[in-house]
Amino acid sequence: MSEVRVRFAPSPTGFFHIGSARTVLFNWLYARNTGGTFILRIEDTDKARNTDEALQVLLDGMRWLGLDWDEGPEVGGDYGPYFQSQRGAIYEEYLGKLKAAGRTYEQDGAVFFKISGEPQVLEDAIRGRVERTEEKDFVIVRSDGSPGFHLVNVVDDIAMGITHVIRGEDHLSNTSKHMELFKAFGAPLPVFAHIPLILKEQGKGKMSKRDEGALVEDYQKSGFLSEAVVNYLCLLGWSPKDDSEKMPLKEIIERFGFDGINKGNARFDSRKMSFLNTSYLRELSLDVFIEMARPILLEAGVIDVSVDEAYLKQVMAISQEKVRMPVDIVGISGTFFSEEFEIEPKAEAKVFKKGEPMVCLQEFKEALETLEDYSVAGVEAGMDALVERSGRKRNDFFGVARLAVSGLDRGPGFYELVSVLGKDRMVSRIEAFISSRSEVS
Ligand code: GLU
């Protein structure tokens, strides 16, 4: 283990914003890159908002993203307690030091810190040199007796041996106060690294919790893969020196450093996030993909527990590459598992726009009835022969046949679809379609 000790210090509010997730991630990456220690410290001094449920939202989100902490709630460590609400005695002790040094005074029931008023020159690991001079003494203990944010934040960073403070740029304006406090305690300054903000996808300003795509739990609920979300969050403000985008976490850990973090703000890009998600989905091994899809299909009532596993595997194998979001699996594979499906009007209109689809469908059905080899290659050869015999084009058969057996104009590859559905299902679905259409006319 190296000497590096970094921390994520959230005040749980019940939301886990992607901006916070990225702050965790950058701390975590720095710790893993340097072989240091990643600490989770809960800044829960606001009793009304910092409930246990709010804490769980955060812990669940971090676990889902795979960002494990070496010290903190539920894992412990030598520098605890890791909840500020339990560290009152430590704050008292540190406050005593400031009092003894004559750096405090009381006014209207609050305790103020006497600033030095000297210019505070910060060499920020991301922003570079930032100079700022505090002009006013500030409150460190509120009039209700509770220690204030600046005091507890700095005391904990000192007491927990934090070497690098990596946090959002919104705290840059607090840093000169914090530097004053570190110096008053005679403690060495940590390295500060202020991460640029995440801007809304459209329009001006910082992304807020109300913006679409802002909450980690929404990605979790809508079935994003955590690997894709983590990969995307890395790229939100950090980039390796080349143009790599999709990178395994192991490689990101190796390449991560402050020099790759942009000074400018990062703009949220939901399309890039989806794109990464799709490419991670396509790369899952078939078995992993099936286990991801299974609960979704069960929940949607597409399959039940008695599903034929071999058939499920065949259907998933031809559907996986068509899935952009996990939930798409329902639409793409639903018709493989039931003889009762709707014919989508839009798809039907497209098919019936031109040519003689019903005649083609009849010819196609006859070809299927005599076909013996239902492997993908066999189906393709059968189609070649049909095209040859009839003098028609492949597309004359594809659209209407797909419509008749699935109700859609999209889905897995055509030969794969025929091969997996097999002769009996294909023929009976086409017959049902033909008879339903002849009743209408
Ligand atoms: N509790 C503060 C926050 O959530 C921590 C700031 C810091 O990282 O120093 O913004």
The number of the ligand 1 atom at minimal distance from the alpha carbon of 174 is 9
Give the model's pLDDT for residue 441: 52
Residue of 15, 43, 126 to test ligand 1 pocket, by largest number of atoms within 8 Å of CB: 43
Taking the centre of ligand 1 as the mean of its atom positions, its distance from the CA of residue 334, in whole angstroms, is 47
3-state secondary structure of 39: strand
Q: Report the separation in Å between the CA atom of 8 and the middle of ligand 1, taken as the mean of its atom positions.
A: 8
Residues 321 and 350 in one domain: no
Looking at residue 430, which CATH number applies to its domain? Answer: 1.10.10.350
Q: How far is the CA of 149 from the centre of ligand 1 (A)?
A: 9
**pLDDT for the residue numbered 294:** 95
The predicted-structure confidence for 53-104, as pLDDT tens digits, reads as follows 999 999 999 999 999 999 999 999 999 999 999 999 999 999 999 999 999 9
Q: Is 177 a catalytic residue?
A: no
Q: Per the domain annotation, does 95 fall within a domain?
A: no
- Do 398 and 361 have their domain in common? yes
Residue ranges in the chain whose pLDDT is less than 50:
none
Q: What is the reported pLDDT for 144?
A: 93
- Report the atom number in ligand 1 closest to the C-alpha of 8: 8
- 368 with 423, same domain: the answer is yes
Write the residue with the smallest CA distance to atom 4 of ligand 1: 10
Q: Is 106 helix (H, G, I), strand (E, B) or coil?
A: strand
Domain boundary among 336, 358, 375: 336
Testing ligand 1's pocket by substitution, the residue of 8, 171, 191 carrying the most ligand atoms inside 8 A of its CB is 171
3-state secondary structure the chain: CCCCEEEECCCCCCCCEHHHHHHHHHHHHHHHHHCCEEEECECCCCCCCCCHHHHHHHHHHHHHHCCCCCEECCCECCCCCCEHHHCHHHHHHHHHHHHHCCCEEEECCEEEECCCCCEEEEEECCCEEEEEECCCCEEEECCCCCECHHHHHHHHHHHCCCCEEEEEHHHHHHHHHHHHHHHHCCCCCCEEEEECCEECCCCCCECCCCCCCCEHHHHHHCCCCHHHHHHHHHHCCECCCCCCCCCCHHHHHHHCCHHHECCCCEECCHHHHHHHHHHHHHHCCHHHHHHHHHHHHHHCCCCCCCCCHHHHHHHHHHHHHHCCCCCHHHHHHHHHCCCCCCCCHHHHHHHCCCCCHHHHHHHHHHHHHHCCCCCHHHHHHHHHHHHHHHCCCHHHHHHHHHHHHHCCCCCCCHHHHHHHHHHHHHHHHHHHHHHHHHHHC
Residues 362 and 432 in one domain: yes
Please give the distance, rounded to the nearest whole angstrom, from the Cα atom of residue 16 to the centre of ligand 1.
13
For ligand 1, whether the C-beta of 171 sits within 6 Å is: yes
- Cα Rg of the chain, angstroms: 31
Residues spanned by the domain of 302: 284-336
Task: Indicate if ligand 1 lies below 6 Å from the C-beta of 167.
Answer: yes
Specify the residue with its C-alpha closest to ligand 1, atom 6: 9
Asked whether residue 73 is domain-assigned, the answer is: no
* Same-domain pairing of 317 and 363: no
Distances (CA, A) of 342 to 345, 398, 405, 433: 9, 18, 10, 11
Ligand 1 atom 5: residue of nearest CA: 9
Residue 252 buriedness (CB in 10 A; 0-12 / 13-18 / 19+): buried
- 423 and 384 within one domain: yes
State the distance from the centre of ligand 1 to the C-alpha of 11, rounded, in angstroms. 7
Q: Which of the residues 97, 114, 206, 209 is marked catalytic?
A: 209
313 assigned to some structural domain: yes
If asked whether residues 356 and 296 sit together in one domain, one would say no
Q: Using the 3D structure, point to which of 316, 336, 356 is the last residue of a domain.
A: 336
Q: Is 293 contained in some domain? A: yes
- Nearest Cα residue to atom 3 of ligand 1: 10
β-pairing, 104-107 vs 110-113, is antiparallel
According to the model, what pLDDT value does residue 113 have? 98
pLDDT for 331: 92
Does one domain contain both 391 and 324? no
Residue 434 resides in a domain: yes
The pTM (predicted TM-score) of the whole model is 0.85
In a domain, 121, yes or no: no
Is 415 found in the same domain as 352? yes
Query: For ligand 1, is residue 11 a contact (CB within 6 Å)?
Result: yes
Residue 352 lies in a domain: yes
Ligand 1 midpoint to CA 164 (Å): 13
Nearest atom in ligand 1 to the alpha carbon of residue 153 is 9
**E-assigned strands of 218-373?**
266-267
Question: Same domain for 352 and 331?
Answer: no
Does ligand 1 come within 6 angstroms of the Cβ of 9? yes
**Is there a domain that residue 373 lies in?**
yes
In this prediction, residue 142 carries a pLDDT of 95
Q: Name the domain boundary from 319, 336, 353.
A: 336
Quote the number of domains for the chain. Answer: 2
Cβ atoms of 309 and 402 closer than 8 Å? no
